[in-house]
């Protein structure tokens, strides 16, 4: 008795299509996921560096008269925003007495996965200190 393969014609095509789709999704998760992780690291780094740039703007007159490091809020905010502009990052800056808090937001587009772009938000904080005091 001879077996006929006619009833299974085209089944390999469907299998290849499903496997190819699955492979593209796995590759997308690896690539796009890696890009999101790298963007998170960049956002944290930019927020931290901008906060440090702002925290360096100490009011020298106040420091000399009271011995307490107090930020010049205008200069601190301007320095932090200037750093963000140089890096091409958008964010907000809050200055409070001796600390600067920077919140950075970066949109990471998804290149392979069919989902919406991810918005990565990171917060960096730096405090001004008087390094001359032991």
* pLDDT surpasses 80 at 16: yes
If phi over 0 gives left and psi between -120 and 50 gives alpha, with beta otherwise, what is residue 102?
Answer: beta
User: How far is it between the farthest Cα atoms of the chain?
Assistant: 105
CA distances from 20 to 2, 26, 29, 86, 111 (A): 33, 10, 14, 42, 17
Quick one: how far is CA 19 from the chain centroid?
33
* pLDDT surpasses 50 at 109: yes
List helix spans (H) across the chain.
11-55, 60-66, 73-87
Look at residue 101 in the predicted model and tell me its pLDDT.
Answer: 92
Instruction: Kindly list the strands in the beta sheet with 90-96, ordered across the sheet, starting from the edge strand earlier in the chain.
Output: 90-96, 99-108, 118-127
With pLDDT > 70 as the criterion, what percentage of the chain qualifies? Answer: 87
Stated pTM of the model: 0.76
Per-residue pLDDT band at 134 (split at 50, 70, 90): very low
- Chain segment 45-81, per-residue pLDDT in tens: 999 999 999 999 988 888 889 888 888 999 999 999 9
Look at residue 3 in the predicted model and tell me its pLDDT.
Answer: 60
């Amino acid at each position: 008795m001879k077996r006929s393969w006619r009833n299974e014609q085209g089944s390999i095509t469907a299998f290849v299509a499903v496997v190819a789709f699955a492979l593209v999704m796995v590759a997308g998760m690896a690539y796009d996921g890696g890009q999101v992780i790298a963007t998170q690291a960049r956002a944290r780094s930019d927020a931290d560096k901008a906060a440090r740039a702002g925290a360096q703007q100490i009011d020298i007159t106040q420091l000399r008269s009271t011995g307490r490091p107090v930020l010049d809020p205008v200069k601190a905010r301007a320095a932090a925003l200037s750093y963000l502009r140089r890096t091409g990052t958008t964010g907000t800056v809050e200055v409070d007495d001796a600390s600067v808090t920077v919140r950075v937001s970066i949109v990471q587009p998804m290149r392979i996965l069919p989902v919406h772009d991810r918005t990565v938000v990171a917060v960096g904080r730096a405090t001004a200190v008087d390094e001359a005091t032991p």
